[in-house]
Amino acid sequence: MRSREERMKWFKEDRFGMFIHWGIYAVPAKGEWVQNHETISRERYRTYFEEFDPVRYDARAWAKAAKQAGMKYAVLTTKHHDGFCLFDSMLTEFKSTNTPCGRDLVREFVDAFRAEGLRVGFYYSLLDWNHEHYPTYGDFYHPERANEAYKDKEQNFDLYVDYLHGQVRELLTNYGTIDLFWFDFSYESLIGEAWRATELAKMVYELQPGILMNNRLDHTLLKNGISTVYGGDFASPEQAIPTREVMSDIHGHPIEWEACITLNKHWGYHATDTDYKQAKDIIRLLVDCVSKDGNLLVNVGPNAKGEIPKPVLDILAEIGQWMALNGFSIYGCRDTALPVPEWGRFTQKDGKLYAHLFERGMGAYPLKRLKGRIGRTRLLWDGAEVTSGESHNDYHTKEDAHILMSHSRLPDDNDTVI
């Protein structure tokens, strides 16, 4: 295992990735938790397995969409909670190669994303509603009744953990270099060594010395500043964008992190959940993450035919247009110690300060504490000069500078970068 700092380099440079939730749950098309939420028996769930045939799955098209959006890496669900494997595992028959499609979907993903120059990551669910030795009650997942389940069904959790270790070994042996491993997830009764986490993490780093691992084998460790091999390299908080305070450990040392968000309200494909966030929301979220030294994974849920829904492709394309002009203010950028401005965010890189103007029509944009520190002021997208000044008035104190921007000079409703 190389040093964390060294392994984190690409991650902090790349900043923006694609999350992909895909599996046979795309057939019922009600999100990735459908088996649990609708208490569908294993037997009935199997009908989706028997018909799964994503004839229009073209991993190259996914990779192109990600790249065009300005994303630099992607994380695919190799197995979600339902236990269905998108890869040709030797340890189960519940896998894509045994469905009518007969393909190793993970291999196609890895090959295509690599070919487009993107880095690849694997999501792997620690939960497994299909495995006979995973603690379920009846057919259903009830962590709090795990002990009962063992009694009733003569389950042997060790055998499940063997299986999990075996599959992680397959994933990190058979697909070349893997950049990131994303475990999901642990709760109070199953956490850390319940997964034989020391042994597991050692294997992960042995098989892939350059890999980064998230913190869901035990999400409490990074936060508590406890150093273990399985505590993870970065935190994966969800939906909510962390504050600087949250993203440091109890000793005040910063923690590396990657937020993840889905465009509607489900991660897996949902036929009627089409209330999508706008490109603008995602762009601002990404800027917010980078301004606090974090990454963002934006999720897509391809359908049962293997396609990313058209409205999602449109959002990605719009994000890509902004990224093409303003990516300099994202890639390799990090936080500043400046107060968060009321009009937007700051990012910085190599002695350049990027002011992200979310608010329009303010006229004068105060740059608090920046008096005497402003050199040239330019619009990032076209290089045009912008007027800045340092005279103070009722609103601006002696330490402040400001940028003058008339409404007509703010071309981008998403975020105009100076």
Residues in the site for ligand JFZ, rule: CB under 6 A? Answer: 21, 32-33, 184-185, 238, 260, 267
Torsion angle (degrees, nearest 10) of CA 59, 61, 62, 68: 140
Q: What minimum distance in Å lies between the beta carbon of 9 and ligand JFZ?
A: 25
Distance of CA 267 to the CA centre of its chain: 11
* Minimum distance of ligand JFZ from residue 185's CB (angstroms): 4
Least CB distance to ligand JFZ at residue 95 (A): 19
Nearer to ligand JFZ, 31 or 344 (CB): 31
Q: Which residue, 78 or 416, has its beta carbon nearer to ligand JFZ?
A: 78
* Cβ proximity to ligand JFZ, 17 vs 320, nearer residue: 17
Mind giving me the DSSP string for 301-346?
A: ---TTS---HHHHHHHHHHHHHHHHHGGGTTT-B--SSPPPTTEEE
Closest to ligand JFZ by CB, 268 or 327: 268
- Smallest separation, CB 260 to ligand JFZ (Å): 6
CA dihedral 163, 11, 109, 168 (to 10 degrees): -10
Least Å from the CB of residue 191 to ligand JFZ: 12
Query: Rounded to whole angstroms, how far apart are CA atoms 167 and 340?
Result: 44
Minimum CB–partner distance for residue 85 and ligand JFZ (Å)? 15
What is the rounded radius of gyration, in angstroms, for the C-alpha atoms of the chain? 23
Pick the closer one to ligand JFZ by CB: 87 or 129: 129
Closer residue to ligand JFZ (CB): 33 or 328: 33
Cβ neighbours of 20 (radius 10 Å): 25
Determine what percent of the chain falls in helix, strand and coil, rounding each to the nearest 5.
30, 20, 50
> What strand order describes the sheet that includes 363-367?
363-367, 401-405, 387-389
